[in-house]
Structure 1
Amino acid sequence: MTTENDSSGAEETPARYIRLQVDLVMEITDPDELTEAAVAQIDGDEFMPEDERAHARDAVQRDEAEALAYLVDPFGLVNGVAGIELVQASWSSAHTEYDPDSDEWDLYEEEMGEE
């Protein structure tokens, strides 16, 4: 493990906060099933106010990306990981053009270029 020295020569402790960035590309194979799952998630949220619930239902029924955003839970990705506490999370989803044969989507190539 490496640490940095400040201008006084004293060692600093490593940063306590880490930003984890993840890119996922998903194919929607059944838009109706996705929408139904999102509506069920919204309907089951006991803390969501009714006016917000109506807006959320409308949004997920019009856009699969909105439906996916309601179903993805970043807290679930790290829940139970020893030694950490999630202090902040944000996420979004959007439609994208995807060509698995394009160099633009070669994530392993990016990793190799960074080493």
Structure 2
Amino acid sequence: MLEVTERGELTDAALRRIEDDEFMPEEERAHAGAAVREDEAEALAYLVEPFQLIGEVPGVELVQASWSSEQADYDPDVDAWHLDEEDLDAEDGEEDGGEGRDG
């Protein structure tokens, strides 16, 4: 989960990225610009490259990436937003007993 704190900065950065993309056809550029202005998730998608995020993670090959997002009202007092035991163990540096995660 992330919080967009400066929507204008995010949108402007994405629009610059679109404008600077020399390989993007003009029709696609217009569509991309409109999408970025309407939705922060679209703006983020133009700035964050999934293949770069995965990079050289051992044992992982990214063959396809897609984005999805939804608006959520964050309330720090709601239990659903609290870390579960597994998250707390990971923060403390504890191992998971050698069991990997599927994903």
Shared fold (TM-score, shorter chain, > 0.5): yes
Question: Which one has the bigger helix percentage?
Answer: 2
Query: 1:53 aligns to what?
Result: 29
Do the aligned partners of residues 109 and 42 (structure 1) sit closer, same or farther apart at CA in structure 2, a change above 3 Å counting? Answer: same
Give, in angstroms, the shift of residue 96 of structure 1: 1.8
Do the aligned partners of residues 32 and 71 (structure 1) sit closer, same or farther apart at CA in structure 2, a change above 3 Å counting? Answer: same
Q: What TM-score do the two structures reach when normalised by structure 1? A: 0.63
List, as ranges, runs of 4+ consecutive aligned residues in structure 1 with deviation greater than 3 Å: 109-112
Q: Is 1:101 aligned to 2:65, yes or no?
A: no
Do the aligned partners of residues 111 and 26 (structure 1) sit closer, same or farther apart at CA in structure 2, a change above 3 Å counting? Answer: closer
Structure 1 unaligned segments of length 5 or more: list them: 1-24
CA distance in 2, matches of 1:59, 1:65: 9
Which fold has the larger relative contact order, with Cα–Cα distance below 8 Å and residues 6 or more apart in sequence? 2
- Between the aligned residues of both structures, percent identity stands at 61
Structure showing greater radius of gyration is 1
Query: 1:33-81 CA deviation, whole Å, 9 max, x = no partner?
Result: 1011110111122222110110111111122232122222221111122
CA distance in 1, matches of 2:46, 2:10: 10
